């Protein structure tokens, strides 16, 4: 699957479950393991698990592969490995403590807002 399409799927899945502070980073110059890191926040254990589930379901429905989902037992930090994209869904305290943006934040990816579905106003 094209990297732009995959990152758009992930961001849309996160937005559907009201993820906060979504950031997409281009890591192609930093590692050969993956091309994008996406970091998002959830407000509770339940929401972080729901966000991870939404990402996995949307990617699978689009024909993509979910390699693994880690951290759902506790829900403070859930990682979804999609191969070319790694998604970190964290509660704000964990996100602030681990500061992943400082590690992967060299090249943020600018994305256009998704078009609002009919009958729904854009946020």
pTM for the predicted model, two decimal places: 0.85
Question: Torsions phi, psi of 40, nearest 5?
Answer: -145, 160
Expressed as residue numbers, the domain containing 87 is 3-104
List the beta strands (DSSP E) in 46-119.
68-70, 77-81, 85-90
Per the domain annotation, does 111 fall within a domain? no
pLDDT number for residue 6: 96
pLDDT number for residue 34: 93
- Number of structural domains in the chain: 1
Residues with Cβ within 8 Å of residue 96, at least 6 apart in sequence:
none
Kindly report, residue by residue over 40-74, the tens digit of the pLDDT.
Answer: 999 999 999 999 999 999 999 999 999 999 999 99
pLDDT under 70 in the chain at which residues?
106-123
Per the domain annotation, does 28 fall within a domain? yes
How many other β-carbons are positioned within 10 Å of the β-carbon of residue 31? 11
pLDDT number for residue 112: 62
Per the domain annotation, does 115 fall within a domain? no
* Per-residue exposure over 86-121, b if at least 16 CB sit within 10 Å of its own CB, e if not: bbbbbbeebbeeeebbeebeeeebeeeeeeeeeeee
pLDDT number for residue 106: 60
Q: What is the CATH number of the domain that holds 41?
A: 3.30.460.10
Per the domain annotation, does 18 fall within a domain? yes
pLDDT number for residue 103: 85
pLDDT number for residue 101: 87
């Amino acid at each position: 699957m094209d990297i732009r399409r995959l990152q758009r799927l992930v961001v849309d899945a996160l937005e559907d479950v009201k993820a906060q502070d979504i950031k997409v980073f281009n890591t192609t110059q930093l590692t050969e393991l993956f091309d994008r890191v996406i970091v998002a926040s959830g407000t509770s254990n339940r929401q972080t698990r729901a966000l991870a589930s939404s990402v996995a379901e949307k990617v699978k429905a689009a024909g993509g592969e979910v390699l693994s989902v880690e951290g759902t037992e506790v829900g403070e930090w859930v990682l979804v490995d999609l191969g070319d994209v790694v998604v970190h869904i964290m509660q704000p305290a964990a996100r602030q403590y681990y500061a992943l943006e400082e590690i992967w934040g060299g090249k943020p990816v600018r994305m256009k807002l998704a078009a609002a579905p009919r009958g729904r106003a854009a946020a």
